[in-house]
Amino acid sequence: MERMANVFWMGGCAAVAVLLVAGLVALLVTVHRRERERREYWRWWAARHGWAFVERPQLTWTDRVPGRSRRGVRFALTGTLHGRPVCVAEYAYTETQSSTGADGNQTTTSRTHTYVVCSVWLRRSFPALAVGPRHVFSKLGRALFGSDTYATGHEEFDRQWRVGAAAPGQQALVGPTLIAAHLAGAVPAWSVRGPELITYRPGRLEEHAPVPSLVTPLITVADLLEQGR
């Protein structure tokens, strides 16, 4: 009886293992099909609106986004909006961490971070310049040590936002109207280098996302930068 019970137990474990593997395969197939359908949707969207859909393009801004993965652009939509060449891309990078447990065994975990990156081409080149929200440590440092090198002199803006520039004085390129737009929440964090202006946010580019509305706030930044406002 005991031997038969062991046989049944082993058979049950094997059945469970088979079911788990089958379920995993089915899940992977579903995910792959869903991703293929999603890309086909964006290919259709681009053709319908006179844009271009490109798989795995090599873009120049990958060193200005989290992860800095040169091969991280999954696909991109390129077109013209308000008379400007623009691009909306989905970008991802994978972060791997290893840890050692009390038993000495090492465990490796991976996490993929995905972003939607928008870019606008300017009508002239700019030095490397970026505006981003201040985080906790940046705010603490400013409270302890005062304004940093690239402060604009606008107290409320400098409290909430931080300018990064290639050289002192270039923060003046962030004009008063652009400062007001940031304080009003009308424009996103951004960076510019040469003629390429970009912004990014976490998440995927889902079907039916309002692509023009993703880029329009960045076009506002482009207009104000070029006008010196």
Kindly state the tokens that stand for 209.
Answer: 């996302």
* CA separation for the pair 71, 58 (Å, rounded): 7
Q: Please write the tens of the pLDDT for every residue from 75-106.
A: 999 999 999 999 999 999 999 887 777 777 77
Q: Please give the pLDDT value at position 28.
A: 43
Q: Name the 3-class secondary structure at 55.
A: strand
DSSP state of 191: E
Q: What are the C-alpha distances in Å from 141 to residues 13, 90, 148, 213?
A: 57, 34, 9, 35
Q: Please give the pLDDT value at position 123.
A: 96
Q: What are the C-alpha distances in Å from 151 to residues 170, 183, 227?
A: 10, 15, 21
Residues of the chain scoring pLDDT < 70: 1-32, 136-147
Kindly state the tokens that stand for 200.
Answer: 């990014």
Count CB atoms within 10 A of the CB of residue 161. 19
